A and B are shown apart, each in its own frame.
Chain A
């Protein structure tokens, strides 16, 4: 496994909260492909969050309090 690949792979594993070994099959992919996958995954997470926030924002005001997260 190349060092550069390892970094991308590690980043992917980190995003998914999985050990790198669980993605060992992905080490055969090129750095470019892994990089694209990382970006795409990050984008998907951001889009899902945006989608959820947008959907929550569109709710009537009297329901919005239900979705408030408690501050620790």
Chain B
């Protein structure tokens, strides 16, 4: 859940700085949480620029009748100025003014509105008002703003808003920009199953290629159970769909997001995916192995490799052998964490003798620290896989 989350953050930062996303590619190496904190710091900085001026105005607004303020908002104030003033007004007062404003005006203001303030205000608005605002934002294809607010809505309102969104691709766009990632899992549950299935099938439609990463992002953000459910659903669609997912992940280098998803699939689905001929393509398996190593995903990778048959395991062993010695340390540690020594040794035995030797040296370090029982277990495995680590008494 990193590369895609980083991408979403970069898009949001690019909007604030008024630059192209491509100009921010140097931020791709940073963690999404760091980028998110940076973005909030920028928003706060911009909000504080003329704070005194807007606080004074808010003090005046408190004295004016709501209809007059609403009229001024409609006729004279820019939406971003209204959003600045709103910060200094009570939510109840805001609601009384909002009642007099059209959905178009409210939608325009919502683009600049502080999310913390919006959360409280949304509690006052009726479902009808929220739907109208959502409709305007949808027509403008302002998915970033919709994503900012959708996590704050109640389940019933989410369901109603989803009904006005005809295209599943638009649902995915909104989900991609959701601020509160921890809510995604719940929101997916709130939506009708059929719509989720349709959204999943977008992956088999090449005309929707630009939306594919958003679908993969959704898959990577949902919880274990839902990952398994949707992943299995994808597998049921057949090789064409799975191959499309694999190619999309490869083209956009999304393996760090996809590997944990594959590791969550049911045993049957994992077995199917892990042994697909597409996955054995040299450049694909190399990308997967590199992503597993770079993002510390060996525990997930070993789970997947466990389901691989000979051909696929050969491809993995070849790919691992092409990376430096450090990768072997990472694999050994992941094997220890997940007790996946069998699959690890089966990969090691397929490596060139030079790499095998390096593995033996790493294993020796581990074996010196093991209890007798585990030591014996590993020793038996080493013999079985003919790796023959020298026994240290």
Contacts and interface: CB of A to CB of B under 8 A. Distances in A.
Q: Do A and B bind each other?
A: yes
A70 B49 contact: no
A56 B78 CA distance: 9
B53 to A, nearest CB: 5
A29 B26 contact: yes
Contacts, number: 76
B42 A48 contact: no
Contacts of B34: 23, 25-26
B223 to A, nearest CB: 26
A66 B76 contact: no
A44 B46 contact: yes
Given A16-B42, A63-B72, A69-B53, A55 B81 contact: yes
Interface in A5-23: 15-18, 22-23
B41 interface: yes
Contact of B18 (A17, A44, A59): A44
Contacts of B190: none
Interface residues of B, number: 31
B31 A25 contact: yes
A63 B53 CA distance: 13
B80 interface: yes
B52 interface: yes
Interface residues of A, number: 31
A60 B76 CA distance: 8
Contacts of B377: none
B31 A52 contact: no
A59 B72 CA distance: 10
A16 B26 CA distance: 19
Contact of A69 (B26, B30, B52): B52
A45 B45 contact: yes
Residues of A contacting B: mostly: helix
A41 B37 contact: no
Contacts of A28: 29-30
A23 B33 CA distance: 11
A1 B77 CA distance: 46
A67 B53 contact: yes
Interface string B38-54: 10011011100110110
B46 A59 contact: no
A49 B41 contact: no
Contact of A67 (B19, B45, B46, B57): B57
A48 B47 CA distance: 10
Given A25-B31, A52-B81, A70-B56, A33 B26 contact: yes
A39 to B, nearest CB: 10
Interface of B: 16-19, 26-27, 29-31, 34, 37-38, 41-42, 44-46, 49-50, 52-53, 56-57, 60, 72, 76-78, 80-81, 84
Interface of A: 15-18, 22-23, 25-26, 28-30, 33, 40-41, 44-45, 47-49, 51-52, 55-56, 59-60, 63, 66-70
Given A33-B26, A44-B17, 17 more contacts: A17-B41, A18-B41, A22-B37, A23-B38, A26-B34, A29-B30, A40-B19, A41-B42, A44-B18, A44-B46, A48-B49, A49-B50, A59-B76, A63-B76, A67-B53, A68-B53, A69-B56
16 contacts: A40-B19, A41-B17, A41-B45, A45-B49, A47-B18, A55-B78, A55-B80, A56-B81, A59-B76, A60-B76, A63-B76, A67-B53, A69-B52, A69-B53, A70-B52, A70-B56
Closest 7 CB pairs of A and B: A25-B34, A16-B41, A55-B78, A33-B26, A69-B53, A66-B60, A40-B17
